[in-house]
Amino acid sequence: MNKNKPPELFGDMIADKQARDLVDACVSGVATEEQRDQLSRLIVESPEVCDYYIAQCTMVSQLLTYSKDVPEVKPEPPTIERPQTRGHMIAGWFVAIAASVLIAVIVNYSQWDTPKNVVNVAQSEVVGEMLSEIGIKESKPVALMMGQPISVEKGSREVRLLNNVSFSVAAPASFVIESANQCRVWQGRMTVSVPEDAKGFRVVTDHADIVDTGTRFGLAVNPETGTDVAVFEGRVDLASQRQEKRLEVGRAANIATDGTMSRMQLVKIDTFEASNRSADSQESTLSSVHDNIHSSDEFGYYRIVPNGFGEEQPAYVDRDHQWNGVTADGLPRELLGGDYIMPFNNDKVEQDIEVTITLSREADLYVLFDKRGEAPKWLTDGFVDTDEEAGQDEGGEVPGFNTHKRTTIGSGVSIDAVFSVWKSRKPLKGDVTLGGLWNEKPDSAITTGAEISMYGVVAVPVSASDAN
């Protein structure tokens, strides 16, 4: 850095006195939270205000620079090249200088350590806010600055960006908002929600580049093992150093440190987010699920919901269907609060599928089977029809079909299909293998499969008193 030749000044004086006063208050560190919010909106809406604000910060940083030696930091380049983003780009020498002043003035979190591979981007723009702790009534939002590295050491946080993108973050985590449309994650678990008008939001890790197309997805980054991605709604475009793939709803992938992608078969409640289960809460009866059908090209996953079966429980990972009581009396009581497996509804056409479930302790296993189909031999041999029923509300858009319905709330209100409830002939433990919907695959299996749905599975642990 050449101290003998100061850089050329920029940023014209603006006529808006209120904006000037807001900038002065923020730069001097005396601004209230309301004033910071007002200036944040002005910076986003007005390039002139943005330039003026940067100019004032630059002036302060120059005084610091010329008063003492400040070593120039040359960050390491990122593993994956960051693509160009739209918006008001701030280039040149003043970005690096203004960064230290802006972080100190606007947000003062000394525990935020700067991870490796920090990308040198503009750090002068408020891009959103973050709660100090999810679930804490006194939690206050903290302004997030573009380019500001964030570390979450414990608990969980909720981040809300100005473009209405939001995500929950579970500790330990470290990330940075590089622009209004891009986030870089070094470590942590997140569930990201992107509205329709923010399509194209990008999440970059050391292993993967994820471009959202207006959806909700889970992300887990481990520097040692790689990145996991699961799509809960919509789709994402996924790329690594070695391959590219579009993930639809109900699909999940692991991207290893060398860039290879593989199917992620199981998603648990705490895979991508902090678990609300207390330390003394009961362990899930379902410990694992896998099948013999899906290749690495399919990428379909199963999702375990501990103690979650009840009204409005989502039925499948790849549909918007929900479970409800057939009548106003609700779902069968013996199923309520059981551990539920969300399967892949497209598997209804697979005659040779085998779904293997691992039960960590003795449990009654229930299979909810679509009454529009004939019960297969594996079901009648190992299970008993309880004469109870469960209803399914088939709301949402079904891929490949020109229908769109919304699910409704409440038992017996919007039931599109009725399922019979089958119970295992005795309590089970360990590995249990279930088959497909068909004894013999009909000639029109694909067409017939469109008329019925995949079964659901509920596990209810057997207590010591029940066993006796």
Q: How confident is the model over 191-206, as pLDDT tens digits?
A: 999 998 899 999 999 9
Full residue range of the structural domain in which residue 311 is found: 286-467
State yes or no: pLDDT of 402 exceeds 60.
Answer: no
Q: How confident is the model over 218-256, as pLDDT tens digits?
A: 999 999 999 999 999 999 999 999 999 999 988 999 999
How many of the other CB atoms lie within 10 Å of CB of 355?
Answer: 23
Domain boundary among 210, 235, 265: 265
Number of domains in the chain: 3
Is 414 a member of any domain?
Answer: yes
What pLDDT is recorded for position 462? 92
Is 14 a member of any domain?
Answer: yes
* Statement to judge: residues 134 and 251 lie in one domain: yes
* Statement to judge: residues 317 and 441 lie in one domain: yes
* Statement to judge: residues 327 and 397 lie in one domain: yes
* Statement to judge: residues 26 and 166 lie in one domain: no
What pLDDT is recorded for position 275? 62
* Statement to judge: residues 341 and 440 lie in one domain: yes
* Statement to judge: residues 94 and 26 lie in one domain: yes
* Statement to judge: residues 47 and 129 lie in one domain: no
* Statement to judge: residues 260 and 295 lie in one domain: no
What pLDDT is recorded for position 142? 86
CATH of the domain at 216: 2.60.120.1440
* Statement to judge: residues 235 and 128 lie in one domain: yes
Query: Considering the entire predicted model, what is its pTM?
Result: 0.65
Q: Which of 48-52, 257-261, 374-378, 434-438 has the lowest mean pLDDT?
A: 48-52
